[in-house]
Structure 1
């Protein structure tokens, strides 16, 4: 199974990180990646609005309403794009083979690496491009060491 690439989109829709792990999909230029990030951000916002009115599950406090999450998975015959949005609005887009198992676990682990190596870095400015060698190395090790 293959993880093709990872994109991190900030809450304003700007691409702050992209990494290709395996070839197999068409190579996109920097401009194409920026357009992809901005377009996905817009589509994600629209799909949050299209969701039906949330139903409050039983035994849930009224202070914590259930909210629509927006587009989470986009699947084609050649790839699957999974989106994980953090509570701050940062989106992690993981592009994998359609048959890739446990994508939710992979994307959550990527988020943990982001929290550990990027957000705890005193030299990182939030919402700006991510340039952290330790994050790159940990990400490489995690993605490439999986069976």
Structure 2
């Protein structure tokens, strides 16, 4: 499965802690992240992560492009709802794309915990069906 990891500045430490706790699950999948978030997670966990640009420089849009091509299976995006973001339209577009393409999206630790445990138990096998259909 392809998993995107994104975090606003005040949530980066939370995502690093999350990735550290669930490294044993995440290491079995292809990981993608926006620039600084990916670097922080990579340094803390040793996980292999493809890093896009930082969010404000287009990283959110690069991940959005993968979603639009149905090449992303799960998005974990720890948002900071209390701080204005200069690239808020990009954030909104990313969330909208997840809704349009039925990509599971966690915007906080609680939801991310549920989704990552579901991933571990094989609950995302329906995504394999979608990938097979695309190959036909």
Q: TM-score range by the shorter chain?
A: 0.3 to 0.5
TM-score, normalised to structure 2, is 0.35
Higher strand share goes to which structure?
A: 1
Which of these two proteins has the greater Rg computed from alpha carbons? 1
Question: What is the TM-score of this pair, normalised by structure 1?
Answer: 0.33
Q: Which has the higher helix share?
A: 2
